């Protein structure tokens, strides 16, 4: 009986692997970066039709071989594209930030500043900024919960300094002009990876003001030493990406994966990068709370409600000073 159960389980597992591989190949044909999505759709339909025809018309062994060869070719094509900084990038992602280190002082080249007319981008400028690491006081974890599905979210981090400034970091898919983000396309080497740095009006403002997404900003429990180590690690990663480009990957190299890696390098509590609540980052606020990274003197739902910034951001939407904006979107001290 046990042998039969094990044999059945092995067969079921094998078919699951085959099915997953076939579906992965289907997506790879459809969303390959070397051809337009419309062409990819035609090729994907041809792949489906060819697979069905082979199974229906040919002997099983021949059909299996033909589909396996086709999948092998698709996998090879999928891994051939290489990351590059060349290309007509979208205006807001046209520049990679770089950082100069000089003791306690860091100078960032490529801080983004976007001018909006409503939700339309009017202009994008890039500036330099110098920060004193000895004045770093706080770390804040941001979650932009996508309105379509609460399990999906964009995460970011912000570092507060004693002079009232905040340096926010958003790890994003780097898209070319005219491209829009798709989680499926992000699985198949369509986007670069970029660390966008700016003040909180830049990184949080548009997310909280436009659209229907809820934006949360959680204060993180962190010693000054841990906060500094995490910021330095983030900035060194930005420098590395400016020199050695990488692909964004929806599952393996995204905003939350990278933040977890930075956190695990400096925090005594290790968050598992492959936890299902990290894979679906709409739950990462709860993850941070469960790991003691947030104040646990109150229930998480109370902290979550207080950390919602949308209404406060709308009240402060005409505040042009970034420091004043950062102060306005935070709840009053208790």
Provide the β-strand partners of residue 127: 111
Question: What pLDDT was estimated at residue 264?
Answer: 84
Both tokens of 296, joined, read 């646990």
Question: What pLDDT was estimated at residue 183?
Answer: 92
Q: Flag whether pLDDT at 228 surpasses 80.
A: yes
> Do residues 235 and 108 lie in contact, with contact meaning Cβ atoms separated by under 8 Å?
yes
Query: Which residue in this structure is represented by tokens 């062994």?
Result: 61
Q: Flag whether pLDDT at 210 surpasses 90.
A: no
Instruction: Identify the band that residue 120 occupies on the pLDDT scale cut at 50, 70 and 90.
Output: confident
Query: Which residue in this structure is represented by tokens 């890039």?
Result: 126
Mean pLDDT of all residues in 279-304: 91
Instruction: Identify the band that residue 322 occupies on the pLDDT scale cut at 50, 70 and 90.
Output: very high
Q: Which is more confidently placed, 166 or 11?
A: 166
pLDDT digits (tens, 9 = 90+) for 154-176: 999 999 999 999 999 999 999 99
Q: What is the pTM of this model?
A: 0.92
Q: Which is more confidently placed, 150 or 97?
A: 97
> Do residues 217 and 330 lie in contact, with contact meaning Cβ atoms separated by under 8 Å?
yes
| Axis-axis angle for helices 37-57, 60-79 (nearest 10) | 160
pLDDT digits (tens, 9 = 90+) for 177-207: 989 999 999 999 999 999 999 999 999 999 9
**Edge-to-edge strands of the sheet including 105-117?**
98-102, 105-117, 120-132
Rounded Cα gap, residues 327 and 157, in angstroms: 16
Instruction: Identify the band that residue 8 occupies on the pLDDT scale cut at 50, 70 and 90.
Output: confident
Mean pLDDT of all residues in 69-81: 95
E strands, 59-213, in order:
98-102, 105-117, 120-132, 136-145, 153-161, 166-174, 192-198
Q: Flag whether pLDDT at 333 surpasses 70.
A: no
> Do residues 178 and 191 lie in contact, with contact meaning Cβ atoms separated by under 8 Å?
no
Provide the β-strand partners of residue 9: none
Question: Which of 66, 41, 39, 43 shows the shortest CA–CA distance to 53?
Answer: 66
Residues 6+ apart with CB under 8 A from 225: none
Rounded Cα gap, residues 258 and 273, in angstroms: 9
Query: Which residue in this structure is represented by tokens 């469960």?
Result: 290
Q: Flag whether pLDDT at 334 surpasses 70.
A: no
Length of the chain: 334
């Amino acid at each position: 009986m046990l042998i039969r159960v094990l044999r059945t389980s092995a067969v079921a597992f094998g078919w699951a692997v085959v099915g997953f591989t076939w579906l992965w190949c289907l997506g790879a044909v459809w969303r390959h970066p070397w051809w337009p999505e419309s062409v990819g759709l035609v090729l994907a339909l041809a792949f489906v039709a060819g697979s069905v025809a082979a199974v229906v018309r040919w002997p099983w062994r021949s059909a299996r071989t033909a589909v396996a060869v086709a999948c092998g070719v698709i996998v090879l094509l999928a891994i051939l594209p290489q990351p590059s900084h060349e290309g007509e990038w979208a205006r807001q992602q046209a520049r990679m930030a770089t950082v100069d280190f000089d003791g306690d002082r860091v100078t960032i080249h490529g801080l983004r500043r976007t001018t909006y007319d409503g939700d339309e981008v009017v202009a994008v400028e890039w500036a330099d900024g110098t920060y004193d690491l000895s004045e770093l006081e706080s770390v804040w974890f941001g979650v932009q919960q996508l309105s379509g599905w609460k399990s999906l979210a964009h995460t970011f981090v912000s570092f507060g300094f004693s002079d009232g400034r905040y340096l926010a970091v958003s790890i994003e898919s780097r898209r070319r002009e005219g491209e829009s983000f798709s989680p499926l396309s992000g699985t198949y080497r369509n986007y670069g990876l970029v660390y966008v740095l700016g003040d909180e009006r830049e990184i949080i403002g548009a997310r909280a003001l436009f659209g229907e997404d809820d934006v949360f900003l959680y204060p993180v429990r962190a010693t000054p030493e841990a906060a500094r180590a995490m910021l330095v690690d983030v900035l060194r990663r930005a420098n590395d990406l400016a020199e050695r480009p990488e692909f964004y990957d929806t599952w393996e190299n995204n905003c939350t994966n990278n933040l977890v890696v930075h956190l695990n390098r400096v925090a005594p509590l290790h968050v598992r990068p492959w936890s299902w609540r990290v894979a679906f980052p709409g739950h990462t606020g709860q993850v941070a709370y469960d790991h003691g990274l947030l104040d646990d003197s109150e229930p998480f739902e109370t902290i979550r409600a207080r950390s919602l910034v949308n209404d406060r951001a709308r009240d402060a939407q005409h505040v042009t000073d970034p420091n004043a904006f950062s102060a306005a979107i935070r709840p009053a001290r208790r």
